[in-house]
């Protein structure tokens, strides 16, 4: 049986990623008149940056006791 910790963390991650994608798309659209290099840097940062805020959630999710049945 999967632990509740993993279920809760999965819901947090999915909710956060939905917000992150919406925010990145909205900001990216606002950068349509910006120089290409700035838009590229933004999307590289947005593409890699989602993992940093989720790091504590991922650690918490994997810190529970594993069942050894």
CB neighbours of 14 closer than 8 A, spacing ≥ 6?
Answer: none
Q: Which two tokens stand for residue 34?
A: 């910006």
Chain segment 20-59, per-residue pLDDT in tens: 999 999 999 999 899 999 999 999 999 999 999 999 999 9
Reported pTM: 0.79
Q: How far apart are CA 69 and CA 67, in angstroms?
A: 6
Cβ-proximal residues to 22 (8 Å cutoff; 6+ apart), any chain: none
pLDDT digits (tens, 9 = 90+) for 5-14: 889 999 999 9
């Amino acid at each position: 049986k999967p632990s509740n910790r993993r279920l809760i963390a999965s819901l947090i991650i999915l909710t956060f990623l939905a917000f992150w994608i919406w925010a990145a798309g909205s900001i990216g659209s606002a950068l349509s008149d910006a120089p290409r290099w700035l838009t590229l840097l933004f999307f590289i940062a947005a593409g890699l940056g989602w993992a940093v805020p989720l790091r504590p959630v991922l650690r918490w999710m994997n810190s529970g006791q594993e069942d050894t049945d």
